[in-house]
């Protein structure tokens, strides 16, 4: 029996949020969108996700206002971008990433997050360790760390993620 996708009986905001972002692959799609992945094929390549599953998850994210699907001028295929609602998930994605780094990254974090302005590391409170200000996602740079494994650096997206770049900026792939 398939697990239910909705938690109608819960009457809880967390349950409602999980209806949207709680399915397998969904938070990884959102993470990659923060990293600058925009194209369907690039999500497939980097995540090694089945195309049908990705299509379903992207449709749900678009239908729920977390992402928008737009065709860029001169392109036949659509790109996917986080909406403002989607960008509001940054503290959640960052927090889960830090939690994973702390508990499961034996060789060190695969990636660090830095303040674009001064290069200070961004801590678990989204505060720059150099200037001590809270940093918005738009002012955050992702930088490869010591735990970046071979799998996470394969393909065009993986290669692009070997170079520091500002979050939300499209990857040059």
Structural domains present in the chain? 13-84 (1.10.10.10), 87-166 (no CATH)
Q: Decide which of 3 and 61 is more confident.
A: 61
Q: What is the pTM of this model?
A: 0.90
CB count within 10 Å of CB 62 equals: 16
**Per-residue model confidence (pLDDT) at position 1:** 43
- CA 73 to chain CA mean position, Å: 25
**Per-residue model confidence (pLDDT) at position 113:** 97
Q: Where are the alpha helices (DSSP H) in 6-161?
A: 13-21, 26-35, 40-47, 51-63, 84-87, 90-104, 155-160
Q: Is the pLDDT of residue 105 over 80?
A: yes
**Per-residue model confidence (pLDDT) at position 153:** 62
Closest CA to 30 of 86, 110, 98: 86
Closest CA to 68 of 78, 54, 53: 78
pLDDT in tens, 5-16: 666 666 789 989
Q: Is the pLDDT of residue 69 over 80?
A: yes
């Amino acid at each position: 029996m398939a697990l239910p996708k909705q938690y109608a009986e819960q009457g809880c905001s967390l349950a409602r949020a999980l209806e949207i972002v709680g399915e397998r692959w969904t938070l990884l799609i959102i993470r990659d969108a923060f990293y600058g992945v925009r194209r369907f094929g690039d999500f497939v390549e980097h995540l090694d996700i089945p195309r049908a599953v990705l299509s379903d998850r992207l449709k749900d994210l678009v239908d729920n206002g977390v992402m928008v699907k737009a065709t860029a001028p001169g392109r036949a295929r659509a790109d996917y971008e986080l909406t403002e609602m989607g960008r509001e998930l940054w503290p959640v994605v960052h927090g889960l990433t830090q939690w994973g780094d702390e508990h499961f990254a034996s060789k060190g974090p695969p990636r660090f997050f830095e303040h674009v302005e001064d290069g200070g590391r961004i801590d678990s409170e989204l505060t720059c360790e150099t200037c001590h200000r809270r940093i918005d996602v738009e002012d955050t740079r992702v930088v490869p760390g010591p735990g970046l494994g071979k799998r996470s650096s394969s393909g065009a997206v993986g290669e692009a993620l070997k170079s520091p770049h500002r979050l939300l900026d499209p990857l040059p792939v």
